[in-house]
Chain A
C-alpha cells in the first residue's frame, strides 16, 4: 500500500461544478503539499498545510491531522483548471524527501 493515496485517479467535470480531490496518508507528517502539473510541464505548488484550512482564489485546501486526510476543493471549475493534481507529504527531518501520491487527472469540459 502506498504511503500517500489519492482519489479519484481521474475526474471529469462540467465547467462551473464544485470539485473535490482527496488525499490520505499513513505516515507522520510535518506538512502536506498540494501541487498542480499541466501536461508535459513542471509542477506548481498550490498549498502547503500543516493544520486547518487555506484558501487561494477558487481553491481551498483542508487537512485533518487526526484522520490523516486532506482535501483540495475547486469552486466554479473552469477548463483552465484541467491538470494533474498531486498530493505530497514531508515527514519530520525529511530534507526534501517528499512522498508523492500518483496524482488525480482532472478534466473540466466547457
Chain B
C-alpha cells in the first residue's frame, strides 16, 4: 500500500517563476494538508483541502494556491516565486483529521 507520494522530489526555479507541486494521498485518505518547512525550522501550515475545497488556510499570501482533484490528489501552486520561498514542501494526507501520513517532501530552491 503506497503511502503519500510527492513529486518532484527536487526542483530549482528562478525568482518570479511559477511552480506546481503534486501530492497523491495514502489510499483511503480524503484530506490533504500542505506545509512549508524552512531550513532548521518546524513545518508551517499552508492550507488543507477536503472535498475539493480549501477548508482552512494558514498565514500565507495569495501567491500560494492549491487544488484537490476528485481522486483526492492535490496540487500546490506558488506564483511569482521569491528567494524566501526556498524550502521543503510537505504534504500530509488524512481521513479528515485522523491518521496524518506525511510524504517525503519536495525540496524547492529559488535562485
Chain A interfacial positions (CB closer than 8 Å to B) = 4, 30, 33, 35, 40-45, 48, 86, 88, 90, 94-103
5 A-B pairs whose Cβ atoms sit less than 8 Å apart in the complex: A43-B105, A95-B97, A96-B31, A96-B94, A98-B45
Q: Is B92's beta carbon under 8 Å from chain A?
A: yes
How many residues does chain B have at the interface if contact means C-beta atoms less than 8 Å apart? 29
- Determine how close the nearest CB of chain A comes to the CB of B14; give it in whole angstroms: 23
Chain B residues positioned under 8 Å from A86 (CB to CB):
42-43
- Determine how close the nearest CB of chain A comes to the CB of B21; give it in whole angstroms: 13
Dominant SS among interface residues on chain B: strand
A94 near B99: Cβ-Cβ < 8 Å: no
Among A86, A96, A97, A103, find the residue whose CB has the most chain B CB atoms closer than 10 A.
A96
Q: Is B55's beta carbon under 8 Å from chain A?
A: yes
B31 near A43: Cβ-Cβ < 8 Å: no
Chain B residues positioned under 8 Å from A44 (CB to CB):
102
